[in-house]
Amino acid sequence: MTWVEPEKWYAQLATFHAAAAVFVTDDSNRILLVKPNYRDHWSIPGGYVDQHENPRTRR
């Protein structure tokens, strides 16, 4: 691992993060949950917007 000066390291970090999640219920007040294959637990549907990706076209 190469040492990087803190100022340079901070300059490389993303300065904007976008994410979304949704809380969905049905008429019986059941909650929609998803279990991604890369996690050990259930969660609400959601995701992140990648760099250079338009949030309006994200699906």
User: What are the tens digits of pLDDT across the range 36-58?
Assistant: 898 899 999 988 888 788 777 76
Q: CA-to-CA distance for 38 and 32, rounded, in angstroms?
A: 18
44 in Cβ contact with 21 (< 8 Å): yes
pLDDT at 28 over 90: yes
Among the listed residues 21, 20, 17, the one whose alpha carbon sits nearest the alpha carbon of residue 51: 17
Checking if the pLDDT of 25 tops 70, the result is yes
Q: What are the extents of the domains in the chain?
A: 20-59
Instruction: Supply the pLDDT for residue 58.
Output: 64
Single pTM value for the model: 0.51
DSSP assignments along 19-46, one per residue: EEE---B-TT-PBP-B--TT-SS-B-SE
16 has pLDDT over 90:
no
